[in-house]
Amino acid sequence: MNLATQHRLAGKGVYAITDGPRDDLFAAVEAALAGGARLLQYRDKTKDAARRLAEASELSSICARYDATFIVNDDVALAAQVGAGVHLGREDGDVATARAALGEDAVIGVSCYNSIERARELASAGADYLAFGAMYPSTTKPHAPHASLDVLRQAAALGLPMVAIGGITPENAPPVLDAGADYLAVVSAIFAASDIQTATRRFANLFDATHGFSA
């Protein structure tokens, strides 16, 4: 991991992931960032390329104002257009291709599900963070396989930031953090909340010094 990427991912914190098209997207994201989110992933599975480009461009600007890292889900071409990082799942291409398109300073994250073997392979391929989940039953991906706390403990030896995702709430997050997660990735518990900023702050508070974590 290069020094620029390492600097952006230093520390620990909340990784907010948007929940598809919504009329109040920009206000919702700004509320999450004001609540303490450190990373923001734009996740929109629709095929509306013009809208997605416009939204991603504006979200990139909003993240810059909050000094938050901006990630695009799955779409390397869109990430390149707006100067973002990218998150890659199993079917979304390889790290080397994304790196060639996005450059050395881009953050490239990968889904490892519950596989330490996949994590080792992708760490060697140059990923900047490793995501594991679902840690708990997820409303966003109800059929996602369960990931164990033990896989987080094993993956710590790979030396990359670890992201935990899937059904995480402020109440069930402490064991995930204790197992070594650096970032808590949250979708509905933030973006389906009536007060997004407060919901995000509840997660961000888990990382304060009194809990042994650095925000």
Residues with a catalytic annotation lie at 43, 111, 141
Angle between helices 25-34 and 196-204 (to 10 degrees): 30
Cα–Cα–Cα angle for 27, 32, 36, nearest 5°? 140
- Give residues with Cβ within 8 angstroms of 113, minimum separation 6: 90, 132, 133, 144, 145, 147
Separation of alpha carbons 141 and 17, rounded Å: 13
User: 49-65 vs 25-34: helix axis angle to the nearest 10?
Assistant: 30
Contact 36, 214 (CB under 8 A): no
Tokens of 65: 């104002």
What are the phi and psi torsion angles at 158 (to 5°)?
-80, -15
Helices and strands of the chain, counted as H and E runs: 10, 8
Angle between helices 95-102 and 116-125 (to 10 degrees): 30
